[in-house]
Chain A
Amino acid sequence: MRYLPLTPDDRAAMLATIGAASIDDLFADVPAEARLDGPIAGLPLHAGELTVERHMGALARRSRAAGDGPFFLGAGAYRHHVPASVDHLIQRGEFLTAYTPYQPEIAQGTLQMLFEFQTQVARLLGTDVANASMYDGSTACWEAIVMARRVTRRGKALLSTGLHPHYRSVARTMAKYTGDILVDGDPALEADTDWAALAAAVDEETSCVVVQYPDILGRIDDMRALAAACQAAGALLVAVVTEPVALGLIQSPGEMGADIVVGEGQSLGVGLQFGGPYVGLFACKAKYVRQMPGRLCGETVDAHGKRGFVLTLSTREQHIRREKATSNICTNSGLCALAFSIHMTLLGEAGLRRLAAINHGRAKAAATELAKVPGVSVLNRGYFNEFTLLLSREARPVVHELVERGILGGVSLGRLYPDSPVLANGLVVAVTETTTEADVATFAAALQEVLA
C-alpha cells in the first residue's frame, strides 16, 4: 500500500518493543463481538493510482462542466476566472498540509495570511474587523442572527424576502430549535427591494434585520435609511453579500451603516466546486468584536520584540469556553480564505474595480439583448452582474429545454421557490467576465426558440 511505510519486519519489531504478541492484542479493549476479523465484506480492495484516477475521471465526465458552453448561473455561487497562480500557491505543501495555527512560532505563514485576509475582508465589506472565516455564507448568516441576539438580548429577526432561500432555510431550521423568532417570506416580483417595509417593521423586540445585497433577484438598493431605522429601534442591521466582486463597484454595506456584514467569498479564488468548500466572510463594527464567532488573528510581538501574529480573543471560543462559547465552530475555511486573499492581492484595488465594472457592463449588455427576445422582460431597476428575467411561461421547463440546446441558462425561481406559483416565470441570470458576447447571442437565440 503506497501510503503506508511500515514493513512486516518493522511491525514485528515494534510489537516486540510493545510486548504484544500480535496486532489483535492492541485491540483487546474492543469487545470481541464488535471486532472484525478480516476486511469488511462486500467492499473493493486497494487500488493503484491509475485505477482510481480512471474511476474518478469517468464519474467527472458524467457531469457537464460550466466551461463546456454558455453558462449563466449565479444565485449564490458565481463563475469567475481564477488566475493560475492562485491554485499553484494554495497547493504549496506548507499551506495545504498545515493544521490550525496553534503553535504560532511555526505557523506565521498561515497567521500573517489570515491577518491580511481579515484586513482585506473588513475593507471590502466596509467594517472595522473581520474574522478568519466561517464555513460559508449561509452558516455565517445564521451566526450573525445569533450574534445579534447576544448583543441586543432580543430574539426576533426580520429577514428580507430578498435573502437567498437556502440561507433562509438554514435560519429557519436553526430557529426551530433555538427559540429565535423569524419573520420572513418569499420575494415579490417587483423592481424594488422590500427594505422600506422592513424599516417600518423594526420594533423594540427586533434583534436584527437581515438583508441581502445584491439580493436573490439581483436587486441593489441604498441601505442607509434602513440602517437608521434599525439604529433608532436598537436593532442591528445584518447585510449578506453573496457576490463580493460587486463591492468593487457599489458601496459596501458597512459604509452604509450595516452593523454586521457576512458573505460568501466563493467568487474570489475558490471556484464553483458544486457548492463547497466555500468560504464564509464575517465582519462587524469593532464594538461587537467580543461577541463574534470563530477564529480571530491578531498582531503581537515575540520575546525579541519582532512583530508576529497569533490566534487571539480565544475566550470566545469552544475550546476554552465550551458550552458558553459564542459558537461551536472549530475548523473553518482556512485554505479557501487563502485562495480568496491571493486572488484579491493579485487584483488589487485597481483590478477589482475593473473586474467589477466589466461584470456590470457585460450584464447590462446581456440584459439589453435578452430583453429583445419576445416574451422576455427584465424585472430589475438596479443590479450588478445578475438580474431577473420574467418569461412568458414557466421558467423551470425552459431551463431544461435550454440544456438540450447546450446552454446552462440561469436559475429558475421555480427551482428556488417550488411552492410559489407566482414566481414560476422568473429566471435569475448571472453574467461575469467569463461570459462572452457569443454566449449571450446563443442564449438569446435559444430562448427565442424555446419561448416561441
Chain B
Amino acid sequence: MALNQSGWRPEMNAGGADDTTTFTDNRALMLEEPLIFEIGSAQTTGVDFDEDAPAADLGALARSAPIGLPGLSEGEAVRHYTRLSRQNYAIDLGLFPLGSCTMKHNPRLNEKVARMPGFADVHPLQPQETVQGAYAVIHELAEWLVTLTGMHAVAMSPKAGAHGELCGVLCIKAALEARGEDRRILLVPESAHGTNPATAAFAGFTVEDIPATAEGRVDLAALTARLGPDIAGVMITNPNTCGLFERDMKAISDAVHAAGGYVYCDGANFNAIVGRVRPGDLGVDAMHINLHKTFSTPHGGGGPGSGPVVLSAALAPFAPLPFVTRDADGFRLIEEENAGEHHPDSFGRMTAFHGQMGMFTRALAYILSHGADGLKQVAEDAVLNANYLLRSLEDVLDAPFAASGPCMHEALFTDDGLAEGFSTLDVAKGLIDEGYHPMTVFFPLVVHGAMLIEPTETESKAVLDQFIGALRSVVLRAKNGDPALKSAPHFAPRARLDETLAARKPVLSWSGD
C-alpha cells in the first residue's frame, strides 16, 4: 500500500488537524490498524528455517501460481495483533454482562495447566498405554460432572453447547428407535435459545412451541395437554432465559415421562444452580454443560467451547463413542472396535477423536480450585449479584417478571417506557461509551426489546454499583430522548456499523490486491 507522506489530506483543514481529526486517524492510544494484506508481502516471513527447501517432483500437482498470502516479520506480526486486540472489549477489561453467556473471570492457572506438554503435546491416536494421564483427566472431570448434576453418565465428546444439544437429541432418537416408536415432535418454549429448534431440525425432528404463562414460565397445563404418542420430548432451559427457575420442572418431567417422552434440559444457565441443585433430581434425561460458561474456559472471541452432556439411566446406553472407562489395568477407550461388547446401543460418533481436551484440563482445574463448597458459593453469588441488579434497576427499567419471584443468575428488562424512537439498541450503545460491554439485547424473543443482564459471581459490589449508576444514567437519557444517544457510541474504535450494507453487498474476503 502506498502511504501518503505529504502530511496533508484533502478533508483536513488548511492548518492541519483540528481537535477531532488527525492525519493518521489514530487518537493517541486508539490506533488504527490496516489489514495484513495491506502491510505484508509474499516475500516477508516471521519464521526462519535452518535448511533450504528441497526440490520436489510433483508434476501437474505442484502449486505454481501465487497463493496470495502475505507475511509479516515477527515484530510486525506482534504489533499487528496487539493493535487489533486493543480494539476489543473483554472480561479482562471490565464487566461483560451478556445474559445467558456467563462471562466470568478466566483464571490464569487454567491456561498454565492446559499448556503442560502431557496435555498439549499429545496426539489423539497415541497408543493407549502412553496417554493414561489424558484419559485420567477426562475420567476425573466426567465424575465431577456426573456428581454435580446427579445424573447417570456423561458424554464428553461434544464440541460446544449446540453440539451437546445434538448429542442429547440423538440419544432421544436412538432411545425411541430402540423402543420401536416413531415420535417426531420436540416441544420447545418460545423463550429458548435459537440453537434448540435448530438442533431439533438438524436431527430430523419437527419443532412445536410450548406457550409460556404470564409470569414467564412454561405453561404446565398447556404442555401436558399437548403430550401424546407423537411427542418425542421437550427441550427446556432451566433456569430459563427470562432468568427464572422453572418451578414446575419436576412436574413437567413426570408428565413427559408418563407420556413416553424424554426431557432435554439446555444447561447454558447451569451457573445459577451449580453445587446447589442437581438436575437429576428434577427428572432431566439429558443436559449439556457449557464448560466455556459455568466452568470458565475462555470464550476466545467466539470459541472454542465444550459441551459435555450428562445423561439419565434411560439415555446413557445410547451415548456416543468414544468414551473413557476404567478397569484393573487402567483407563481405556471404548470406541467403534469394542463398542459391540461394552456399549452396543451407542448412537455413533459425533466428532473425530475425543472432544475438547484443552477445555477439559481448564475446567477440571477450575472445579478443583473451587471444590464443592466453592461451586455452591459460585451459584449463590451469581444469583445474589443478579438480584441486586434487578432490584436496583427495576424503578427505572421495566422488569416484566419482577413479580414472578427472585431471578436466578440473570435479570430481564425491556425497553418499555423509553422515549419515542428510542430502543434497547440505544441503551446498549450508550453503555459502550460508559466503558461496558452491553447486556444481551433483543433476546429472549418473548418480551419487547429485551435486555438480559448476567453479572456473574466474579464481579464485586463496587463494580455492580458503578454499573447501576451508569445504566440508570443511560436509561434516563433514553427516556428523555437525548439525541446524542441515538448516534452512540462516540468513544469506541468505530461508530455504529452499517449491517444492512454488509448483508446486501457481502464482502467476505480481501480483494484489494
Out of B111, B163, B277, B372, which one reaches A139, CB within 8 Å? Answer: B163
Q: Which residue of A lies closest to B43 (CB)?
A: A350
In the complex, which residues of chain B have a beta carbon less than 8 angstroms from the beta carbon of A53?
109, 112-113
B162 in contact with A318 (CB, 8 Å) = yes
A29–B406 CA distance with the chains assembled, in angstroms: 8
B373 in contact with A46 (CB, 8 Å) = yes
Which of A95-103, A191-199, A372-380 faces chain B?
A95-103
Q: Would you list which residues of chain B between 351 and 380 have a CB under 8 Å from chain A?
A: 351-359, 361, 364-365, 368-378, 380
A333–B303 CA distance with the chains assembled, in angstroms: 4
Interface flag for B222 (CB, 8 Å): no
Mark A21-36 against chain B: 1 for CB-CB distance below 8 A, else 0.
Answer: 0010111111101111
What are 16 A-B contacts with C-beta separation under 8 Å? A4-B458, A27-B245, A47-B371, A53-B112, A93-B91, A98-B300, A99-B299, A102-B98, A104-B497, A135-B163, A300-B498, A306-B25, A328-B166, A331-B292, A347-B47, A348-B71
A129–B508 CA distance with the chains assembled, in angstroms: 6
A56–B136 CA distance with the chains assembled, in angstroms: 10
Given contacts A34-B277, A87-B115, A323-B198, 11 further A-B contacts (CB under 8 A): A14-B461, A53-B113, A85-B74, A97-B96, A97-B298, A98-B300, A99-B302, A138-B351, A318-B197, A342-B77, A411-B125
Interface flag for B12 (CB, 8 Å): no
A122–B156 CA distance with the chains assembled, in angstroms: 32
A275 in contact with B126 (CB, 8 Å) = no
B247 in contact with A93 (CB, 8 Å) = no
In the complex, how many angstroms separate the beta carbon of A401 from the nearest chain B beta carbon?
10
Interface flag for B494 (CB, 8 Å): yes
In the complex, which residues of chain B have a beta carbon less than 8 angstroms from the beta carbon of A332?
160, 302-304
B63 in contact with A249 (CB, 8 Å) = yes
In the complex, which residues of chain B have a beta carbon less than 8 angstroms from the beta carbon of A62?
118, 132-133, 136
A77 in contact with B353 (CB, 8 Å) = yes
A276 in contact with B354 (CB, 8 Å) = yes
Interface flag for A334 (CB, 8 Å): yes
Out of B124, B202, B501, which one reaches A272, CB within 8 Å? Answer: B124
Count A interface residues, CB 8 Å: 207
Interface flag for A200 (CB, 8 Å): no
A64 in contact with B496 (CB, 8 Å) = no
In the complex, which residues of chain B have a beta carbon less than 8 angstroms from the beta carbon of A75?
125
A338–B300 CA distance with the chains assembled, in angstroms: 9
Q: Which residue of A lies closest to B173 (CB)?
A: A177
A263–B71 CA distance with the chains assembled, in angstroms: 22
Mark B301-322 against chain A: 1 for CB-CB distance below 8 A, else 0.
Answer: 1111110000000000000100
A71–B292 CA distance with the chains assembled, in angstroms: 32
In the complex, which residues of chain A have a beta carbon less than 8 angstroms from the beta carbon of B89?
94, 98, 103, 106-107
A334–B282 CA distance with the chains assembled, in angstroms: 35
Given contacts A46-B373, A106-B432, whether A323 and B354 have CB atoms under 8 Å apart is no
Total contacts A-B at CB 8 Å: 710
In the complex, how many angstroms separate the beta carbon of A116 from the nearest chain B beta carbon?
5
A11 in contact with B384 (CB, 8 Å) = yes
Interface flag for B120 (CB, 8 Å): yes
A277–B89 CA distance with the chains assembled, in angstroms: 23
Q: Which residue of A lies closest to B499 (CB)?
A: A310
Interface flag for A433 (CB, 8 Å): yes
In the complex, how many angstroms separate the beta carbon of A433 from the nearest chain B beta carbon?
7
Interface flag for A325 (CB, 8 Å): yes
Interface flag for B403 (CB, 8 Å): no
In the complex, which residues of chain A have a beta carbon less than 8 angstroms from the beta carbon of B104?
3
In the complex, which residues of chain A have a beta carbon less than 8 angstroms from the beta carbon of B460?
5-6, 10
In the complex, which residues of chain B have a beta carbon less than 8 angstroms from the beta carbon of A112?
33, 35, 84, 87
Out of A15, A73, A105, A334, which one reaches B494, CB within 8 Å? Answer: A105
B160 in contact with A135 (CB, 8 Å) = yes
Q: Would you list which residues of chain A between 1 and 59 have a CB under 8 Å from chain B?
A: 1-6, 10-11, 13-15, 17-20, 23, 25-31, 33-36, 38-49, 51-53, 55-57, 59
A105–B490 CA distance with the chains assembled, in angstroms: 10
A59–B117 CA distance with the chains assembled, in angstroms: 11
A61 in contact with B118 (CB, 8 Å) = yes
Interface flag for A392 (CB, 8 Å): no
A100 in contact with B56 (CB, 8 Å) = no
Given contacts A3-B458, A275-B357, whether A35 and B509 have CB atoms under 8 Å apart is no
In the complex, which residues of chain A have a beta carbon less than 8 angstroms from the beta carbon of B211?
none
Q: Would you list which residues of chain A between 116 and 172 have a CB under 8 Å from chain B?
A: 116, 118-120, 122-124, 128-130, 132-133, 135-139, 146, 164, 166-167, 169-170, 172
In the complex, how many angstroms separate the beta carbon of A259 from the nearest chain B beta carbon?
17
A319–B357 CA distance with the chains assembled, in angstroms: 27
Interface flag for B265 (CB, 8 Å): no
Out of A35, A90, A176, which one reaches B347, CB within 8 Å? Answer: A176
Mark B479-511 against chain A: 1 for CB-CB distance below 8 A, else 0.
Answer: 000000001010011111111011100111110
Q: Would you list which residues of chain A between 423 and 443 have a CB under 8 Å from chain B?
A: 433
Interface flag for B449 (CB, 8 Å): no
In the complex, how many angstroms separate the beta carbon of A238 from the nearest chain B beta carbon?
16
In the complex, how many angstroms separate the beta carbon of A73 from the nearest chain B beta carbon?
4
A-B interface, 10 closest residue pairs, ranked by CB to CB distance from nearest: A348-B71, A275-B353, A335-B300, A173-B348, A60-B118, A62-B133, A93-B92, A275-B124, A334-B302, A277-B304
B198 in contact with A77 (CB, 8 Å) = no
A97 in contact with B45 (CB, 8 Å) = no
B509 in contact with A42 (CB, 8 Å) = no
A108 in contact with B493 (CB, 8 Å) = yes
A166–B348 CA distance with the chains assembled, in angstroms: 10
A274 in contact with B160 (CB, 8 Å) = no
Given contacts A95-B85, A95-B88, A273-B119, whether A135 and B201 have CB atoms under 8 Å apart is no
